[in-house]
Structure 1
Amino acid sequence: MKISINRLKHYLNLTESPEEISALLTRSGLEVEGLEEFESIKGALEGVVIGEVLTCEKHPDADKLSLTTVDIGEGNPVQIVCGAPNVAQGQKVLVAKVGATIYPTSGDPLTLRKAKIRGQVSEGMICAEDELGIGTSHAGIMVLQTELANGTPASEYLEISQDQVLEIGLTPNRADAASHLGVARDLQALLGQKIQLPEEPELTVEASGPKISVKVENYEDCPRYAGVVITDLKVEPSPQWLQDFLKSLDLEPINNVVDITNFILHDLGQPLHAFDAEKIDQGEIIVGKLPKDTKFTTLDEKERKLSGEELMIKDPKGGLCIAGIFGGEGSGVSDATTSIFLESAYFSPDVVRKGSQYHGLKTDASFRFERGTDPNMPVFALKQAVKLLQELAGGKVASEIIDLYPNPIQDFVIEVEYGHVNRLIGKKIEPSEVKSILESLEIKVENETETGFTAIAKPYRVDVTREADIIEEILRIHGFHQVLLSENLKTEYLAEHPVKDLNKLQYRMTEILSAHGYFEMITNSLTKPGYAEKSGFLDASKSVEIYNKLSEDLGVMRQTLLFTGLEVLARNINRRQTDLKTFEFGTVYQKTEEGYQEGRKLSIFLSGNRSSESWLEPTKPFGFSDLYSTVEKILEKLNISVGDVSMVESAPYAYGLKLMLGQKEIGTIGLLDDKILKLAEVRQEVFFAELDWDLLCKKASGLKKYQEISKFPEVRRDLSLVIDKSITFDQVKSVGIKFGGKLLRRIGVFDVYQGDKIDAGKKAYALSFHLQDQENTLTDKVIDKTMSNLIQAFEKEVGALIRT
């Protein structure tokens, strides 16, 4: 969107440079993407002045050339050789001085130099229209009728227009700024000035003309429709100032009537449309729709089929215009037009948007209507256009203004709290400044209290309907640059993005477990009360009892997935299916002091042998590490890192581990105690894990961390540690990570020994340490230093004896 600085000066007293204005607007959210100069004549005829021909004689050596002396206001006259047939003594002419660059209507630019033409010195050029780029005539030099002094710049005589034009990248929400008035409103707030709006003229009927009536079929599609009849028009080219304004916005002038409607659109943001009044059948304008597939020819001479959903301006005979988008060929203004019906309306953004998209028509009018124009502007804009039509086209008002607006669009009423203003902006804004900013944006502040106020925003601010919008307005005028960022950025909450689909997450885990040979089971949520009473780790008082129980075996809701899962294992084992890998996603229930509580769990069971009996290799029973590696894979896929790991040697486990994430328990994993197995009548070892699926879903992250693969080789060193049996590998590992430094990539255990070759109550771990530097090749000195640090840490932290 292009905005003329010259036109903005009609609204505000701008003393700032175009660059300063650009910076202000960009800072407030109207990003200025470019700044360019506009000149109605390229180069602004710099170096071209008014001269007077003092003498004119034939060139001594050329019949078609004249030798002249010209007064260009510099004291001594200059000699110029001229080839124009109409040059004569006493003429006022335009002279391009030596050093001036002129831009002909056709051809390349020309820079004047002192020259000799047929032996005579020539110090400039007496110019024709086409040589200066202001016309096409080359019949002779331009002869002026003026009293201006010799040496007066040609730009002053020709009233050449110069302007600075802003290119603003308008965001879709700022429909209110799609005009010079809209941009001036923002500058009004930024500069602390008051907009000078043009006076609203009083129109009186001064002529008779065609009688036009208007009917609106649906006020939802067209809440407001206004118009007036103008007669005695003379359609002709616009005055130079209007043409220059349109050209500065990259618009092509057409005629005074159409140019005036375009001027109002870009100046006030209100699209207008002029119909030839004589072409309106029976003098009746109807705002409504036409049947689907009706043919309609638009101003670009293309025949289009209507969808039946677009809003049309029509008469009893047919369509005149696609409302808010494009005019029709049959009703447009031509050179022969003498009377018009001038339309100014507010159309529903939705209906204009749909029609524009359906026909693939994007016009300056549709750009504004589909985003939302000012419903209070149509009559004011109409009067400004009529005033210009009277001045520039000789028009006379031939009717009262028609204004159909049965259901006025109301202002937006928004309750605002100062606390929310300060919280969202990130600093305290004084109430007096809040009020000043909003009122400078034409947003009223009412019902002020110590804690807040009521904001009244006019309906042209389609993007200001909520408290957050009001706060945004305050911030962009106060200045984003005035909100200092702290060294430690933080937010009150972290939004989850994208939103997790819990069903997809569960399905993904199901696929992973199934791919590793596990079978999914679904068990009953109802179970035996005796499990909780005899288990030793469940509180029977927390069982949710069923009032209308079908049997005692289905008397309570389960508190764990353990026992219903063991029942499945028992049934399979009793039928000689002894090698089992199963899992279940299920809900568990508890009774609490506050009421009832439920949560989702994931249970995993391993029992029997890893593989069926075969001649290739002996059978090997499942071990704790098999189940632990499965849990690790699940956590890895969810991008969850376990925090503390502690031993569990209480029911339901013979031994096991508790996994923590911060202060919260992720789950437990271990070998089930024989007493628990007897309750469910299972007669073989079972490894069991139960994970808090709700917590895992909450902590799961779809984000993965990647780093460049090191170009330098990895080094491995091994250590054998003799430690107390009570010390776990996780304790050893945490010490290694803490003291291994940035070079330690991972720690592994490849052998565990417990026997008569070491002291009783001791065990030996054979550990592998993998070292790597991302930036250099490791030297023996660096490796030895790292291993020495690790040895000292193991000796001090876990009382290890290093075996050599």
Structure 2
Amino acid sequence: MRFSYNWLKEYLAYAVSPQDVADILAMHSFEIETIEKVGDDTVLDINVLPNRAPDCYSHQGIAREVNAAIDANQTVYPFAPAQTYRQPFNKADSAQGTSTSPRIKVTIENVTDCPRYACQVVEQVVVTKSPTWLQNRLRALGLEAINNIVDITNYVMLDVGNPIHAFDLALLKDTKGSEPTHEGDDHAHIIVRRAKANEKITGLDGITYTLQPTHLVIATPKKPLAIAGIKGGVGSGISDNTTSIVLEAAHFDRKLIYTTSRAIKLKTDASTRFSAGVSQYLPSIALARAVELLRTVCGDTIRSLPVVDQWPGMQDAKTQQTTMRLDRAKPGKLLGIAVPEERITDILGALGCKVTDAEQGGSQALTIQPPFWRLDLTRDVDLVEEIGRMIGYEAIPATLPLVVVQTPEPNPAFTFRNELRRSLVNRGFDEIYSYTLVNRDDVELTTTDESIISRLALQNTLSHRHAYVRHSVLPCLLRAIAENQKQCDRFQLCEIGKIFEQERWSLGLAWFDSEATTSQKVTDGSYIHRAPAFFALRGAIDAMCANFGITDVRYESVGDKKQAAQSWFDQGVVAQIVIAGRPAGIIAQPNKATMQHYDIAGNAGGLNNQGTTAVAELDVAVLQDASMRVALYKEPPVFPPTKRDIAIEVDNSVPSQSLIDTMTTAGGTIVESISLFDYYEGTKVGAGKKSVAYHIVYRDRSRTLTDAEVNKAHRAIEQELRDMYNAVIR
């Protein structure tokens, strides 16, 4: 906001240069944007903070700030006084005329909308050009000079901070429908009311505005005169023929003015000030200042009538003035420096506060009454802030706070999630973070239960793409695969995030390999076979579990009922992950329709020469409960193992885990481990059949096994497979 230095000088207690004013304000109050020479004046563009707008959107307010800083820091700015300093803006004196009749009547329909409305009729005015000094001051601040009456209203707003408006009295007169104030009086009637539905008014800018009952207007009984606190109307404006005027100074509800300004898309200097808030004490001060200027500009021939001041809550406003108690020691405690009581009193006094002694619980305190123009001082900490900025923040030494280092409370769940992240990243996974808000298609990927879906829906959605909280991390992983496949042919992703309906932490894993099931020739001439993504991801899960001491990991078939509900994966290429007897999650290969929906390239469907994409989701709480937090020592075996392979042909509906369980039981205690190393479906086996091959490790930890013992156990396994699954040993 722009301020004139020549104007400020009229209120400054000391002779200071424009640069001095800028430095004082910058160190104690506000940021200075620019200092610009305009004619014989200097204009300062000051960034007034929002909380200080009520008192510093005026020249008198800025002058108060400069004077307070100088008075509170005389050793810093030892300038000689230029003149006796007076504060006319501190005295809420109303300008009183000599006539017995005010010639105007005011009705406020709702005192909440307009707590105070003051107006005064001034007669025998002559509308002409403003004097040069007045025009220059307005133009220096970016306002055009119009005529002496309008220019004075703008001048008072910039000087005092309370917008005022001038009406042509002749255009307000309306004797019909209202009683005269005194019998025979030629009077006008002003009504402060809400606008009628679709009520129209043409502003002084020539634009017609359509108003609603949520807007406030100044009106006569017959017509609206102005949009209250924002813009006057053409039907009551000042013209060259005007001889009597009505000066208006009011206090409007700041929220009402702000919402009206926004609704009609009209922002003015007046609406800016009323929206920020002004003191209820200012209207009478603004009127007095306006009449004083009218006498200066128009001469003593003008005749001012008595002020009509409708202020229903005047007594309440006076009795409810903010009074605070300030502990003498509090400034020192909060600022970190010793502040003597005399210094506190001087600073607050320079700011216009009334300071008296008080007792508070046996300890000495000060009673502080802020001045009426400081609407931002409502708590004792506000006073401490004022003391600090007047002392100068640069005078407060930078002292590091004394912090007692304490051991945080252990959070096992948080620690485990971090360890899980590190383990996966160390195994080549890239961690991702995705949005927890998804669309309905993403939710329906893992559940079709409408009761669950409805509970996941947001009440206030920003977009249909983010209308639900996620039920699973799998849709987010599929979207991440679609994005990352554009840059990489092979990658592994992991995410640990919250899922909802039953809020919990979930681990999502994804494996993408565009060249899965192919063979690659290496430097020594040999070939490396790339496993399907499903088996590669399963191996990664096994390795992750082993890292945390989780040994009881099983992969079980998903029933038909659940398959029907979750049709996003390939039939037969899905398994439920069971850890320590508890369902822990799912691993699956997306089917062709799902991959097309998420725009994922690659093969889908079946395990033979297929499977470029696989995803899995596990319950982090189940993993944590099953993990061995303390590594257990296991003595290395002393006696050698005996390894045998077995290849069998069975129905493809038989789960691999069931075959492993059967072989482990049939082989007895000498079976140490069984692992799948080959899987085949195709024309070389019958329809509905599959060929699987396993490594079986035999070992006895107390002695070396004989071939006969191993052969006996191996034959028992083969026979059990024939009996249980009608298996063909290959």
Question: Deviation at 1:570?
Answer: 11
Question: Which of 196, 204, 208 is the equivalent residue of 2:86?
Answer: 196
2:309 matched residue in structure 1: 403
Deviations 1:609-648 (A, max 9, x none): 99xx98899xxxxxxxx99x9979x99xxxxxxxxx9725
Q: Is the 8 A contact 2:470 2:500 kept in 1?
A: no
Kindly state the Cα deviation for residue 240 of structure 1 after the two structures are TM-superposed.
Answer: 2.0
Q: Does 1:168 align with 2:80?
A: no
Q: What's the CA shift for 1:21?
A: 1.4
1:187 to 41, 66, 74: 66
The equivalent of 2:341 in structure 1 is 431
Shift of 1:513: 11
Where does residue 31 of structure 1 map in the other structure?
31
Aligned pairs for 1:554-703 (under 5 A) are: 580-581=576-577, 605=584, 647-649=630-632
| Aligned residues of 2:119 and 2:309 also touching (Cα < 8 A) | yes
Look up the match of 1:356: 261
| 2:163 corresponds to | 271
Residue 241 of structure 1 and its aligned partner are, at CA, apart by 2.0
1:298 aligns with 2:203: yes
> Quick one: which amino acid aligns to residue 295 of structure 2?
Q
Deviation per residue, 1:697-741 (Å, 9 max, x gap): xxxxxxxxxxxxxxxxxxxxxxxxxxxxxxxxxxxxxxxxxxxxx
* Counterpart residue type for residue 313 of structure 2: N
Counterpart in the other structure of 2:480: none
Q: Give the drift of 1:504.
A: 7.8
Q: CA RMSD in A?
A: 5.0
What's the counterpart of residue 525 of structure 2?
A: none
Tell me the CA shift for residue 170 of structure 1: 1.9
Residues 649-682 of structure 1: CA distance to partner in whole angstroms, max 9, x if unpaired? 59xxx99xxxxxxxxxxxxxxxxxxxxxxxxxxx
Report the CA distance shift for 1:259/1:580 in structure 2 as closer, same or farther (over 3 A).
same
Conserved 8 A contact 1:217-1:288: yes
Structure 1 gap segments, 5+ residues each = 40-161, 495-499, 524-565, 585-602, 618-625, 636-644, 656-682, 686-754, 756-804
User: How much does 1:11 deviate?
Assistant: 1.5
2:258 and 2:271 in contact (8 A); partners too: yes
Check whether the contact 1:291–1:308 (CA below 8 A) recurs between aligned residues: yes
Contact 1:12 1:196 in 2 (8 A): no
The answer (yes or no) to whether the contact 1:517–1:581 under 8 Å persists in 2 is: no
Partner of 2:448: none
CA distance in 1, matches of 2:233, 2:585: 78
Which stretch shows the higher mean deviation, 276-285 or 511-520?
A: 511-520
State the secondary structure of the residue aligned to 1:337: coil
SS in 1 for 2:134: helix
| Distance (whole Å) between structure 2 residues aligned to residue 223 and residue 520 of structure 1 | 52
Structure-2 change in CA distance of 1:204 and 1:403 (3 Å): closer
SS in 2 for 1:23: helix
- The equivalent of 1:472 in structure 2 is 385
- How far 1:373 moved relative to its partner? 1.0
One-letter code of the match for 1:401?
Answer: V
Q: Does 1:237 align with 2:129?
A: yes
Which of the pair has the greater relative contact order for Cα pairs under 8 Å at 6+ separation? 2
Is the Cα contact below 8 Å between 1:217 and 1:287 reproduced in 2?
yes
Counterpart residue number, 2:109 = 217
Change (3 A) 1:38 1:14: farther
- How many Å apart are 1:443 and its aligned residue? 2.5
Q: Which runs of 5+ in 2 are unaligned?
A: 73-83, 175-187, 409-432, 439-455, 457-468, 478-493, 503-549, 561-571, 590-605, 611-615, 636-659, 663-698, 700-730
1:11–1:184 contact (8 Å) kept in structure 2 = yes
1:347 and 2:252 matched: yes
CA deviation after TM superposition for structure 1 residue 171, in Å:
2.3
Supply the distance in 2 between the matched residues of 1:311 and 1:647 (Cα, whole angstroms). 73
SS of alignment partner, residue 286 of structure 1 = strand
The corresponding residue for 2:534 is none
Instruction: State the percentage of identical aligned residues.
Output: 32
Equivalent residue, structure 1, for 2:11: 11
* CA offset digits 1:294-314 (Å, max 9, x no partner): 111111122111122221110
SS across alignment from 2:276: coil
- 1:212 CA displacement: 0.8
For residues 259 and 265 of structure 2, the distance between their equivalents in structure 1, rounded to whole angstroms, comes to: 10
Decide whether aligned partners of structure 1 residues 209 and 362 sit closer, same or farther in structure 2, where only a CA change above 3 A counts.
same
Distance 1:288 1:580, change over 3 A: same
Q: Does the 8 Å contact 1:222/1:345 carry over to 2?
A: yes
Residue correspondences, number: 451
Distance 2:156 2:57 in 1: 12
Distance, in Å, in 2 between the alignment partners of 1:356 and 1:214 is 24
Amino acid at match of 1:404: Q
In the alignment, which residue of structure 1 is the partner of 2:516? none
**Larger helix percent:** 2
> Which amino acid is the alignment partner of residue 268 of structure 1?
V
1:336 aligned residue (204, 228, 241): 241
- Structure 1 counterpart of 2:9, one-letter code: K
Letter in 2 for 1:191: I
What is residue 368 of structure 2 aligned with on the other side?
Answer: 455
| Equivalent AA in structure 1 for residue 218 of structure 2 | I
3-state SS of paired residue (1:461):
coil
- Give the CA deviation at 1:502: 13
1:247 to 122, 139, 152: 139
Displacement after TM superposition at 1:571 (Å):
14
Q: Which amino acid aligns with 1:198?
A: P
Deviations 1:555-601 (CA, angstroms, capped at 9, x unpaired): xxxxxxxxxxx9x99998999999642699xxxxxxxxxxxxxxxxx
Q: 1:181 to 1:217 in 2, by over 3 A?
A: same
Query: Which letter maps to 2:32?
Result: V
Q: Structure 2 length normalisation: TM-score?
A: 0.53
Q: Secondary structure at the match of 1:355?
A: helix
Aligned to 2:192: 287
| Residues 1:390 and 1:492: Cα distance change in structure 2 (over 3 Å) | farther
1:483 is matched with 396
Q: Which residue of 2 aligns with 1:511?
A: 473
Contact 1:184 1:195 in 2 (8 A): no
Instruction: For 2:34, give the aligned amino acid.
Output: G
The Cα offsets for residues 40-66 of structure 1, whole Å up to 9 and x where unpaired, read as xxxxxxxxxxxxxxxxxxxxxxxxxxx
The one-letter amino acid paired with 1:7 is W
Q: In the aligned structure 2, how far is the partner of 1:520 from the partner of 1:299?
A: 58
Preserved CA contact (<8 Å) 1:298 1:327: yes
Instruction: Summarize the Cα distance change of 1:251–1:510 in structure 2 as closer, same or farther, 3 Å threshold.
Output: same
Q: Shift of residue 468 of structure 1?
A: 3.4
Distance of 1:646 and 1:382 partners within structure 2: 80
Contact 1:257-1:393 at 8 Å conserved across structures: no
| Cα gap change, 1:583 to 1:413, in 2 (>3 Å) | farther
Distance in 2 between residues matched to 1:521 and 1:239, nearest whole Å: 72
Name the CA shift for 1:570/1:270 in 2 (closer, same or farther; >3 Å).
same
**Cα-to-partner distance string for 1:81-137 (whole Å, 9 max, x where unaligned):** xxxxxxxxxxxxxxxxxxxxxxxxxxxxxxxxxxxxxxxxxxxxxxxxxxxxxxxxx
Q: 1:258 Cα shift? A: 1.2
